[in-house]
Every structure is written in structure tokens, then in C-alpha cells.
């Protein structure tokens, strides 16, 4: 019986399968998360172009809801955002004028409650801690636009997880600092 090798491949596969599938799922999770980050970056870039060129100020000036709609509309349905309700949404936006480009780094802050860590209660500890704001300034103003999204991760194993927040979420962020064109 010691020389019988039937079933050896099945046993070897059973030993290696968890490692193999973990690596495959880790690659897929990483790729999807990076793609989501790029979608958020592109949606913010395209939406801020409308501010920079004065299109958001023409006609009826935008507010935070209009800016959220612009970002959601440019996310190709990849994000679950209502485009209007900031209190229950995974998307958070802020657009504010600043005095100089040098002040931009001081304006960028994580808008999620500081208690939102792995293991915290996502329902109570992972709320947006900073209120959304929208002020697209006037011509030639320096503007900082920020968008954060709570991306739900799928593969959450003890030895591999892309989540950096409670509730198996990863906080994605995109920031643009630009100077408005000299529109009037």
C-alpha cells in the first residue's frame, strides 16, 4: 500500500489550492481596487474641468449636490452613489478656494471619523466627520477639490485584506488643486 500513488495529485492539489486561490483573489482584489481609484481620479479630474473653465458658474451656479452628480455621472456606474444624499452615501466631496498653491497640503484631511479603524463599528464609528462644502470661487482663484469614497473590499482574509477601515472598506481619495481660468 505504501507504493500506491493513486490520488497523489488530488492530495497535492488539496494542499496547494487554498494558497493558489488566495493569490488569484488577491491579484483580482488589488486590480479592482486600483481600477476604482483610477475611476475616482478621472471622475474628479473631469468634474473639476467644468469648474476651472467657468462652466459650473454659468447659468445656475453649482452647489455640492451638483458637483456630486457630476462625479457620479462620470464614474460609469462603478460607484454606488446617490449623487444627492451625502449623509448615507459612500462619496464625500469638498471644493474650496485657497489663497495659494502652497496651502493645499494643509487643506487635505481624512473626512472619516478618527475612530474608524479595523474592528470598529462601521455604523457608528465610520461616519463622515467633516461636512461637505462647495465654493468654486471666481475667475483666477486657486481651488482645491477633494473626493473620498468608501470602497467595499471583497477578499478579506486574516493574512490579506485591502481594507483600511471598519466594515471591510478601503478609503479611496482624489485631490485636484488648480487655478480657475480668468472668466468673469
- Pick from 64, 103, 85, 90: which is nearest to 171 by CA? 90
* Measured CA angle at 141 (ends 136, 143), to 5 deg: 55
Considering the entire predicted model, what is its pTM? 0.87
- Spatial contact of 128 and 92, defined as CB atoms under 8 Å apart: yes
pLDDT at 93: 94
pLDDT at 110: 92
Confidence at 181, pLDDT banded by 50, 70, 90:
very high
Residue 184 has pLDDT above 80, yes or no: no
Query: Mind giving me the DSSP string for 31-62?
Result: HHHHHHHHHHHHHHHHHHHHHHTTTTTSSS--
pLDDT at 118: 80
pLDDT at 87: 60
Span 126-173, pLDDT tens digits: 888 999 999 999 999 999 999 999 999 988 877 778 888 888 999 999
Span 23-75, pLDDT tens digits: 898 899 999 999 999 999 999 999 999 999 999 988 889 999 899 999 999 99
Residue 8 has pLDDT above 70, yes or no: yes
CA separation for the pair 149, 37 (Å, rounded):
9
Residue 111 has pLDDT above 80, yes or no: yes
Grid coordinates given for 162:
485591502
pLDDT at 55: 92
Residue 83 has pLDDT above 60, yes or no: no
Residue 76 has pLDDT above 80, yes or no: yes
Amino acid at each position: 500500500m505504501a507504493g500506491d500513488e493513486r490520488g497523489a495529485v488530488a492530495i497535492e492539489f488539496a494542499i496547494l489550492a487554498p494558497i493558489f486561490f488566495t493569490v488569484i483573489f488577491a491579484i483580482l482584489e488589488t486590480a479592482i481596487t486600483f481600477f476604482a481609484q483610477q475611476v475616482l481620479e478621472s471622475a474628479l479630474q473631469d468634474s473639476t474641468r467644468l469648474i476651472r473653465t467657468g462652466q459650473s458658474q454659468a447659468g445656475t451656479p453649482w452647489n455640492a449636490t451638483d458637483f456630486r452628480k457630476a462625479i457620479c455621472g462620470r464614474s460609469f456606474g462603478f460607484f454606488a452613489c446617490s449623487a444627492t444624499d451625502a449623509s448615507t452615501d459612500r462619496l464625500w466631496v469638498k471644493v474650496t478656494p485657497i489663497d495659494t498653491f502652497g496651502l493645499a497640503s494643509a487643506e487635505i484631511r481624512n473626512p472619516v471619523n478618527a475612530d474608524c479603524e479595523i474592528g470598529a463599528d462601521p455604523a457608528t464609528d465610520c461616519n463622515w466627520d467633516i461636512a461637505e462644502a462647495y465654493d468654486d470661487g471666481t475667475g483666477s482663484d486657486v481651488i482645491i477639490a477633494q473626493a473620498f469614497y468608501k470602497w467595499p473590499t471583497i477578499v478579506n482574509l486574516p493574512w490579506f485584506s485591502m481594507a483600511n477601515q471598519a466594515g471591510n472598506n478601503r478609503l479611496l481619495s482624489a485631490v485636484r488643486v488648480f487655478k480657475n481660468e480668468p472668466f468673469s
